[in-house]
Amino acid sequence: MKSFLIGILLFFITNSNSYAQGVDENYVARVGPKTITNSEFIERYEMTPGFRRHVKGMEESTQLEFMFTLVAEKLFALEAKDLRLDTAEVIRFSERAFEKMFVRDALFQREVKNKISVTEEEIILASIRNASRLYVNFLFSEDEEEINQLYDYLNQGIPFDSILAESPEKEEQLKPIQVSFGQLEERVEDAVFNLKISEFTAPILTSDGWYIFRLVNRSENIFLTEADRNEAMKTLIRIVEGRKLRKRQAEFYIEFFGNQKVDVNPVIFESLAQKISAIVEYKKKNFNLKPEEPVHLDAFDVINIEGQLGEDTLSMSFIKLDENPISTREFIRTIAFDGFNVADYKINFVRASLDFTTRRVIEHELFYREGIRRGYKNLPEVQSELERWVDNYLFQKLQNNIVDSVTVTDQEVGDYYELLNQPKHFPVVVNIIEVLTSDLEIVDTVLSELNKGTDIRLLASKYSEREFTMGRNGEFGRFSVFSHGEIGRIAETMEIGDIYGPLKVPEGYSIFQLIEKYDEFIEPVKPFEQVKEQYRMDLMFDKARLKLIDYTYNLAVKHNIELNLNEFDNIEVTQIPSFGIRHLGFGGKMTAVPILAPNVEWAYRWLQLQDQQIIP
Q: What is the DSSP letter of 203?
A: P
Q: CATH number of the domain that 176 lies in?
A: 3.10.50.40
pLDDT at site 471: 86
209 with 146, same domain?
Answer: yes
**Distance in angstroms (rounded) separating the CA atoms of residues 356 and 361:** 9
List, for residues 91-130, the tens digit of each pLDDT value: 999 999 999 999 999 999 999 999 999 999 999 999 999 9
pLDDT at site 432: 96
568 with 492, same domain?
Answer: no
Please check whether residue 379 lies inside any domain of the structure. Answer: no
Cβ neighbors of 133 (< 8 A, separation 6 or more) are: 178, 179, 180, 218, 219, 220, 221
164 with 213, same domain?
Answer: yes
Phi, psi angles (nearest 5°) of residue 206:
-125, 180
CA distances from 408 to 117, 403, 416 (A): 62, 12, 11
Q: Which pTM value belongs to this model? A: 0.79
pLDDT band at 1 (very low <50, low <70, confident <90, very high): very low
List, for residues 351-360, the tens digit of each pLDDT value: 999 999 999 9
584 with 460, same domain?
Answer: no
Residue 324: left (phi > 0), alpha (psi -120 to 50), or beta?
A: left
pLDDT at site 601: 93
148 with 241, same domain?
Answer: yes
List, for residues 544-590, the tens digit of each pLDDT value: 999 999 999 999 999 989 998 888 888 888 777 677 889 999 998 89
**Distance in angstroms (rounded) separating the CA atoms of residues 1 and 386:** 35
- E strands, 312-425, are 317-320, 326-327, 341-342
pLDDT at 343 over 70: yes
List, for residues 64-85, the tens digit of each pLDDT value: 999 999 999 999 999 999 999 9
pLDDT, average across residues 513-532: 81
Please check whether residue 107 lies inside any domain of the structure. Answer: no
Please check whether residue 288 lies inside any domain of the structure. Answer: no
Q: Which domain holds residue 236?
A: 120-252
pLDDT at 11 over 90: no
Residue at a domain's end among 220, 252, 284: 252
Q: How many domains does the chain fold into?
A: 3
241 with 149, same domain?
Answer: yes
Residue at a domain's end among 524, 540, 571: 524
Q: Are 40 and 581 in contact (CB under 8 A)?
A: no
pLDDT at 5 over 60: no
- Residue 32, helix vs strand vs coil: coil
Q: Dihedral sign, CA of 103, 109, 112, 115?
A: negative
Which among 547, 544, 552 is positioned nearest to 600, based on CA atoms?
Answer: 552
- Lowest mean pLDDT segment, chosen from 59-63, 128-132, 304-308, 345-349: 59-63
pLDDT at 219 over 60: yes
Percent with pLDDT over 90 in the chain = 70
Provide DSSP, 85-118. Answer: GGGSHHHHHHHHHHHHHHHHHHHHHHHTGGG---
Residue at a domain's end among 191, 218, 252: 252
- Indicate the helix (H) or strand (E) that contains 164: helix 160-165
pLDDT at site 442: 92
CA angle 558, 560, 564 (to 5 degrees): 145
pLDDT, average across residues 35-39: 93
83 with 129, same domain?
Answer: no
**Distance in angstroms (rounded) separating the CA atoms of residues 555 and 79:** 8
Please check whether residue 404 lies inside any domain of the structure. Answer: no
Query: Omega into 176 within 30° of 0, i.e. cis?
Result: no
